Structure 1
Amino acid sequence: MRLNYNHLYYFWEVVRQGGVVPAAEALDLTPQTISGQLKQFQSNFPEPLLQRAGRRLRLTLLGEQVFEHAQTMFAEVEALSMLADEGEAGTVRRLRIGAADAMPKMAVRALLEPALRQTPAPRLSVRELDLASLLEDLAHRRLDAVLADRPAASAGWARARSTLLETTELAIYVHPSLRGRLNGPFPDCLDGAPALLPGQSSYARRLLDQWLHHNGIRPEIVAEVDDSALMKSFGEAGFGFFTAPANHAPDIERQYGAIRLGSCKGVEERFYAITLDNVPPNADLSRWLGRFTGTD
């Protein structure tokens, strides 16, 4: 039996992206196309590879074995592609970074800017996924480092080193069109106000919930949004107040027209670079991390 490479790739992406629809969006294909290819791939096996778990697809035991083989195979394909590029254009230095989807986009940009300003700068590759998937990619050495809003240990991963890159207070922002409808001083004016909050899985959300409870504030939650850029976009339209790092205030005010109401005292967001504990970093990774640790 000869497996179809494209079918295997679609299966791999469906598992990595967490479903048919997100995989279709990532590949710029229709969900119907992905589903059809997935069925053809499944027909090669005597048992199901995936099973429904609510709205998500979960790997069966056989599916886990197939996915593990696919992971190894596509890692080798990526390595071969890099080799081919280097053969065409000389030695190409790459810095492969994973950005956890809970990370604020502005924070990711700010943290990676020093890498782009290196002379000569490496070719930067940034992949955004959930933290668990990125840590798996890191373990298979498909990434050099992962940016996250929590250390690896808190994600149940003990085989890694977590380097603290930045600490900043969490702040509350609002569009001027909504500010006039908020009564009283900060933070009391947030009580009953429309709110755009990070998703429940976000580490920052847990800290924010504790701060709101401590201050006796019960906002009207309009939306819970995992994507920080989308949350700010809703905030720009005046749908509610939103949160973002305090040190990004100038960028947020300029890009989204929002104003900072105040800071959540005692609520700090911390951003980490997670690397493999037993693998020495390459020169570009060391230089980039050195900008934050003072060893550059």
Structure 2
Amino acid sequence: MLNYRQLHYFWVVAKTGSIVRAGEQLNLTPQTISGQINLLEQTYGIELFRRVGRQLELTETGRQTLPYAEQMFQMGNELEAMLRAQPGEQQIVFRVGVADVVPKSIVYRLIAPTMELSEPIRITCREDKLERLLADLAIQRLDLVISDSPMPSHLDIKGYSQKLGECGVSFFATEALAARCEEAFPACLHHAPLLIPGPETVVRSRLLRWFAEQQLQPRIIGEFDDSALMQAFGQSGSGIFIAPSVIADEVCKQYGVRLIGQTDAVTESFYAISVERKVKHPGIVAITEGARRELFTDQAVT
């Protein structure tokens, strides 16, 4: 059986980057920690750390082990907090997985209503690839997954998708770049420098199809799975970029850019995926009701 004390010592060393610092945190001698980690390695015939000069580095096995240890001890901390809480003060733990292609501003707007619940709630958010998040949802490490697509049909995982809403997309540029767009939208996109979402996003194929229908050939200079990184490049003036129309005002204010046009012919959709057909968790209920009531409204095309 796995020795959890030894695994905990490994986890603390990996987090602090040093056996000495881990010893200070755990109030143990470096020799004790080193000896216990060595026993863990010997038990399974593995190597978790290698020494490079005076530094410790994780081996490939160590890097694969760390996320499991992270989740185990995070859940242990949550359990301890729950057990220590006084009756009536216990927090509801709400574990949300977010597909890494979903814009961060959308995620915040979706989750924000949970902060207004009357019940005390503790939210943990984890960002990752959708399939890995769904695997954790299946074994109840997560309560909800937020994605830009519903549950994939090819996965043998029990889950139910609720569409939170959809909206068109808007195009943004810095003042300097927008001033060079002489034609009206969308003709101004023809041969213009453009930043687009990466191939793992659903909206990318819709966007390229729309360009073809409009006989537009923008000059694509960057592709990004991370929308925040794309927006940072757009803020620098590298190119025109897109974002969901529901957050158009927020994007303009945050990045100091101008809205140059929007369309509902290209849409982005967002889904809540859970293992419950009939949702009961108050956090999920707050997200679904808040999305439909406040976030997703009809977007006029300009």
Task: Report TM bin, short chain.
Answer: 0.7 to 0.9
Tell me, yes or no, if the aligned pair for 2:168 and 2:264 is still in contact at 8 Å.
yes
Range with bigger deviation, 276-285 or 95-104: 276-285
Per-residue deviation at 1:155? 6.7
Counterpart for residue 83 of structure 2: 87
Question: Which has the greater radius of gyration?
Answer: 2
Q: Is the 8 A contact 1:144 1:281 kept in 2?
A: no
Bigger drift between 151-160 and 80-89 goes to 151-160
Identity %: 29
The CA RMSD over aligned residues, in Å, is 3.4
Q: Who is 1:144 aligned against?
A: 143
Residue number in structure 1 paired with 2:56: none
Shift of 1:284: 3.5
Match of 2:252 in 1: 253
- Rounded to whole Å, the distance in 2 between the matches of 1:94 and 1:76 is 15
The alpha-carbon deviation at position 157 of structure 1 amounts to 5.5
Aligned to 2:161: 162
Contact 1:159 1:277 in 2 (8 A): no
Contact 1:178 1:240 in 2 (8 A): yes
| Alignment correspondent of 2:206 | 207
Structure 1 position 283, deviation (Å): 3.5
Decide whether the 8 Å contact of 1:115 with 1:288 is kept in 2.
yes
Q: Partner of 2:220 in structure 1?
A: 221
Code of the aligned partner of 1:122:
I
Aligned residue type for 1:208: L
Runs of 5+ unmatched residues, structure 1: 11-23, 31-39, 49-58
- Residue 124 of structure 2 is matched in structure 1 by 125
CA distance in structure 2 between the partners assigned to 1:194 and 1:216 by the alignment: 16
- Residue number in structure 2 paired with 1:238: 237
1:172 — aligned with what?
171
Instruction: Report if the CA contact (8 A) 2:167-2:264 is conserved.
Output: no
1:53-103 deviation per Cα after TM superposition (whole angstroms, max 9, x unaligned)? xxxxxx9xxx9xx97xx85x7765444322211233331211111111000
- Count of equivalent residues: 254
Task: Give unpaired runs (5+ residues) of structure 2.
Answer: 19-37, 48-59, 294-302
Secondary structure of residue in 2 paired with 1:165: strand
Provide, for residues 182-203 of structure 1, a one-character-per-residue CA deviation record: whole Å limited to 9, x for no partner.
2311111111111111111111
TM-score (norm 1): 0.73
> Once the two structures are superposed, what CA deviation does each residue of 1:169-192 show, in whole Å capped at 9, x if it has no partner?
111111111011123111111111
Deviations 1:210-240 (A, max 9, x none): 1112111221122111111111111111100
Range moving further from structure 2, 280-289 or 119-128: 280-289
CA offsets, 1:134-165, max 9 Å, x none? Answer: 11111111111000000013574652111111
1:33 matched to which residue of 2? none
* Structure 2: distance between partners of 1:77 and 1:219: 48
Q: 2:42, 2:217 → 1: CA distance?
A: 52
Partner residue, 2:28: none
SS at match of 1:119: coil
